[in-house]
Amino acid sequence: MKISKVLYCILMIIILAGCAENRAVLTTSDDVKILKPRIISMETMYFMGLGMRTSTGEELLDVLWDDFKKREKEVESVKDPEKNWGLSFDFDQQADVMEFSYIACKQVLNPETVPQGMHLRELPAGKYAVFTHIGPYKSIGETYDYIYNNWIKRSGYDVELKYELELYHKLKFGKSKTHVDIYIPIK
């Protein structure tokens, strides 16, 4: 009887592993894994949250997220309360540093009122390459470097750098391992 339970457990593990998303690892460093992108189409989306102007290398996002988490209940018509999004836009390359605007936000369905001090952005329907970054958030630059300096050049897709989206499966901006889906608009 014990053998059949063990075999059953092994069989279930094999079945569940086969049902899991099977995406190849494109590149790995000591800390970072990047999964092969999924190409998806999305409808028009609305995002609402707190914003700031920042640049690559600055470590202020955790402070912004702490502020947003204190006020997120003010955002109405949230599509999925469990999902936390980061929206980057208004990119400006300055020497070795990229400056950009960033909003810590939630996706909303029917944006009617924007709470004081918050921002609302509409993103048009379109096609996206969705990359998965697994590793410390401080190393997400490695994933972006791979996307823009390797994958896009070989992919056959065009990118108009108007915005980027990040979906955080767990909000961890420190050294611990995190799982972030990066949505890059493509043509």
pLDDT digits (tens, 9 = 90+) for 80-92: 999 999 999 999 9
Q: How far apart are CA 79 and CA 145, in angstroms?
A: 31
Look at residue 20 in the predicted model and tell me its pLDDT. Answer: 39
Q: How far apart are CA 128 and CA 151, in angstroms?
A: 13
Residue 124 reports pLDDT greater than 80: yes
Mean local confidence (pLDDT), 39-45: 96
Torsion of CA 136, 78, 41, 129, to 10 degrees: -10
Q: For strand 25-28 and strand 33-42, is the pairing parallel, antiparallel, or unpaired?
A: antiparallel
Residue 169 reports pLDDT greater than 90: no
Look at residue 15 in the predicted model and tell me its pLDDT. Answer: 35
Query: Does 12 or 27 have the greater pLDDT score?
Result: 27
Mean local confidence (pLDDT), 110-121: 93
Look at residue 74 in the predicted model and tell me its pLDDT. Answer: 96
What domains can be seen in the chain, in order of their start residue? 22-186 (3.20.80.10)
